A and B are shown apart, each in its own frame.
Chain A
Amino acid sequence: MHAQHASGRVDTCGADRGLWRAFRIALLGGLLVIAATPSDAQAALKQVLVLQSLHRGNLVLDQFVGDFRVQLDKRVGEPVNVVSMVVGPTGFVGPPNQAVVDYIRSIYANRRPPDLVMTVGGPAAAFARQHRRQLFPEVPLLFASVDERYLRGPPPTDNETAVAVINDFPRLIDDILRVLPETKQVFMIVGSGALGQFWRRVLEDEFTRFRDRLTFIWSDDLSLTDILGRVASLPSNSAIVYLTFGADAQGGAYADEPVLASLHAAAKAPMFGAFSSLFGHGIVGGSMMSIGGLARNTADVASQILDGTPPRSLRTPPQSPGEPIFDWRELRRWDIPESRLPPGSVVQFRGPSLWDEYKRAVLAAIGVLVLQSLLIAWLLYERRARQRAEIASSRNLALAADADRRETIAALTSSIAHELKQPLSSILHNAQALQMAAERSSSASAPTGEILADIEAEALLAAQIIDRHRTWLRTHQIQKTPIDIHSVVSESLALVAHDLGIRQIDANLNLSSTPCTVNGDHVLLVQVVVNLLRNAMDALAEAPPATRQITIGSKVNMADVEVSVHDTGSGLPAELVGTLFSPFVTTKPQGLGMGLAIAQGIVHAHGGTISAHNNRDAGATFTVVLPRRLAPGSDPSPVNDALAAGLPTPSR
């Protein structure tokens, strides 16, 4: 399909002897094909003489011939004997055409002529037309893979037909301008010699309409080294078009593949081409002539001729370029967005997506994430369930504590009444005194100011008593704040003070001089101490009044605080040791046995412990240990206690 008036591959030195040697080798190739065919089979096989324009190395024609052979065999249904020879000039200086003609004729001198003569490419078509009379004029001639520009002139005879193409290079330039609108110059690689000159002449004419927009630079007068240098230094708004190459200006013959690879490596501008055979060799893309399709069409026509159909009845319209095809890798290399591609463009060699490339890793990561998520969900569920259980436990504890406080209050009712009656009675009698003073107009024995002050103080006292007990009757949830355990002790004593008095029990304090601060719930901790005090009071019921002693002690350790309630009572029954803090364990006929169990629950809710033991002399001691809350910067050592007790302190 290319005009190849003067291309060559073996005559770079220009020596006639070398040229002839190459020519002889080419002819010998053809002879070997024939000689290898058994004579008996030769008569039965269809014979096709293929006149080629170029030697192997031209990607377009190589693919065409290869595909054609395969397709022809398919269509004929049996092997077809194909004799190929290059008739295009093999270099700047080639063998005389007549010598080639003579040689071909000599091959068939004692054999039957071929059943079909087929030319491939423009130069071979021109050669066959020129020497048609000597080249089996009675045999059908098929012009294949030829640009229709080569067939202009006399129309084909009845014994000739063509499967031509219309190469539309201006359309390729349009494609370039569409995807690269900023393009200002196009470097045209067309090869050197007659081929390059032909295409340069034709295309300069066809590219006239781009004159105002583009500058075309032609490679036909450059060596390959110069071409590579030029493509490496092209300005950014350039493009390269690769038509064909074959030979450079120095006569060096080159195959397309290594030339394209060199250009692709060196080029500073994207490279375009118009033949599907070049696609995948560094070509960005464009409207491509399908060489595979052309080979199929040509095989169709050739097989029909071999089947006896007259060539005149096989007129095929020239094949035009197909839909634009682009190489995804080149689009990325040159940063060409796919949005600029012509409508209907096909993008090939699309790289694997992130998904394709990292599918395994992504799936593995997703798997890990899913597992992790499930684990987290399970842990959250567990945590939530635990929190629910804790809340339920806390709620249960609070409810039990509420009930226990009410029970305690019920038990202390008489003491509450007694406590309240003192200030109320004081208020009543003070009021009566005031009334009498008013009636008798005498304030001598009833100083009004003092009376009113007493009334106010007693009313406040009554209110405090009411408040204290009301707090105990109120439903309560655990609320921890920093509190001094000594205030817990004093309030606990206030609550049971009346009972202590009635029972003639002496209450003593042996408290640490160091503040015993814990993080706790005041009401609940008072409840614990009151429970312990009531237990101690009950334990003293049978003791002689003179020996009824309860001692409340506190001790500050490094990390915790101890509160103990020591009594001189009957001690703990042996059968209760170990179950003392279990629910419903009691020695009291009226008791539910919940007091100590609830006290233990409250202490545990504060992160502490509660224990009991019998004293060496008499009675028992209950000890509550709670985590100590240290003020920022405070000395956690119990040295203050040691100092307070008058003990020697450790030397530092």
Chain B
Amino acid sequence: MPGRLRVLIVDDHPSLVRAISRLLAFDYEVVGSLSHGKGLLQAAQSLQANVILLDVNLPDIDGLTACRQVTQAAPEIKVVIFTAASDPDARRRASEAGASAFVDKIESGGELLSTFKSLDAGRN
């Protein structure tokens, strides 16, 4: 039986990173966080992350581009796009970039948890 999901959080908003970490820590392993997209793949691989919770608006790189890079290079790592832009087009673009899921930042924490639960269940 695989261990707990290992989650890497990428967001440039420190307070949000802390909040997500606290919430996920009940059931999953938060292995680290990044405030930028540069070196994401390497970090995920070195931290053995199963899931990357990825913000779209990063200061250095477009989150969808980073998503595409990760999913193409390491398909076993699931990417959850975590964004404030919740329009249908944003969901479509996230899907096209290879994201496994799309979570609106403003939705309640329940959605984030259920998304992770699905991912975790899919792993088994």
Binding site for B on A (CB under 8 A): 414, 417-418, 421-433, 435-437, 440, 442, 445-446, 450-451, 454, 457-458, 498, 501-502
Instruction: Take A418-B84, A418-B85, A421-B84 as given contacts and tell me if A436 and B23 are in contact as well, using a CB distance cutoff of 8 Å.
Output: yes
Which residue on chain A has the smallest CB distance to residue B108?
A428
Residue numbers in B under 8 Å from A423 (CB-CB): 15
A501→B57 contact, CB < 8 A: yes
Closest to B17 in A: A426
Say whether B84 contacts A429, CB under 8 Å. Answer: no
Chain B residues near A458 (CB, 8 Å)? 15
Q: Is the CB of B16 within 8 A of A440?
A: no
| B31 CB to nearest A CB, Å | 14
Q: Mark B1-21, 1 if CB is under 8 A from A, else 0.
A: 000000000000101101110
**Which residue of chain B is the closest to A435 with respect to CB atoms?**
B109
Contact between A432 and B85, CB atoms less than 8 A apart? no
Q: What residues of A have a CB within 8 angstroms of the CB of B109 in the complex?
A: 428-429, 431-433, 435
Which residues 57-84 of B have a CB within 8 angstroms of A?
Answer: 57, 59, 84
Q: Which residues of B contact A417 (CB under 8 A)?
A: 84
Q: A433-B22, A451-B22, A454-B19 are in contact. Are A425 and B106 (CB under 8 A)?
A: yes
- How far, in angstroms, from A298 to B67 measured CA to CA in the complex? 144
Q: List residues of chain B with CB within 8 A of the CB of A451.
A: 19, 22
Main secondary structure of the interface of A (DSSP, over half): helix
Contact of A421 among B15, B18, B106 (CB under 8 A): B106
| Chain A residue nearest in CB terms to B105 | A425
Q: Which residues of A contact B22 (CB under 8 A)?
A: 429-430, 433, 445-446, 451
Query: Is there an interface contact between A428 and B106, defined as CB atoms closer than 8 Å?
Result: yes
Chain B interface residue bracket vs A: 20 to 34
Q: B19 touches which one: A426, A437, A502 (CB < 8 A)?
A: A426
Q: List 20 A-B contacts (CB under 8 A).
A: A414-B85, A418-B85, A421-B106, A422-B16, A425-B19, A425-B105, A426-B15, A426-B19, A428-B107, A429-B20, A429-B22, A429-B112, A432-B113, A433-B22, A433-B23, A433-B109, A436-B23, A436-B26, A458-B15, A501-B59
Bound-state CA distance A422–B20 (Å) is 12
Most buried by A among B59, B84, B113: B84
Report B91-124 CB contacts with A as 1/0, cut-off 8 Å: 0000000000000011111101100000000000
Residue of A at shortest CB range from B27?
A436
Take A431-B109, A502-B57 as given contacts and tell me if A426 and B25 are in contact as well, using a CB distance cutoff of 8 Å.
Answer: no
Contact B57 A445 (CB under 8 A): no
Contact A425 B16 (CB under 8 A): yes
Q: Of A426, A432, A440, A454, which one neighbours B108 at CB under 8 angstroms?
A: A432
Q: How far is the CA of A431 from the CA of B107 in the complex (A)?
A: 12
**Contacts A417-B84, A426-B15 hold; do A440 and B26 have CB atoms under 8 A apart?**
yes
B→A interface (CB under 8 Å): 13, 15-16, 18-20, 22-23, 25-26, 57, 59, 84-85, 105-110, 112-113
Which residue of B is nearest A434, CB measured? Answer: B22
Partner of A457, one of B15, B59, B108, B110: B15
Chain A hits for B25, CB < 8 A: 445-446
Q: How far is the CA of A421 from the CA of B55 in the complex (A)?
A: 12
* Residue pair A445, B15 in contact (C-beta under 8 Å): no
In the bound assembly, the distance between CA atoms of A454 and B23 in angstroms comes to 14
CA–CA, A96 and B120, complex, Å: 172
Please report the C-alpha to C-alpha distance between residue A435 and residue B13 in the assembled complex, in whole angstroms.
22
Closest A residue by C-beta to B107 = A428
Measured between alpha carbons, how far is A437 from B19 in the docked complex, in Å?
13
Closest to A455 in B: B19
* B20 proximity list for chain A (CB < 8 A): 429
Contact across chains for A426 and B13 when beta carbons are under 8 A apart: yes
* B26/A429 in contact, CB under 8 A: no
Enumerate chain A residues within 8 angstroms of B26, measured Cβ to Cβ: 433, 436-437, 440, 442, 445-446
* Residue picked from B22, B25, B108, most chain A C-beta under 10 Å: B22
* Chain B residues near A433 (CB-CB < 8 A): 19, 22-23, 26, 109
CB neighbours of A430 from chain B (8 A): 18-19, 22-23
Contact check, B23 vs A432: say whether CB atoms are below 8 A apart: yes
Query: What is the distance, in angstroms, from B35's C-beta to the closest C-beta of chain A?
Result: 13
Q: Please, which residue of chain A has its CB at the minimum distance from the CB of B11?
A: A422
The CA-CA distance from A431 to B22 in the complex, in Å, is: 10
Please determine whether A422 and B105 come into contact, CB atoms closer than 8 angstroms.
yes
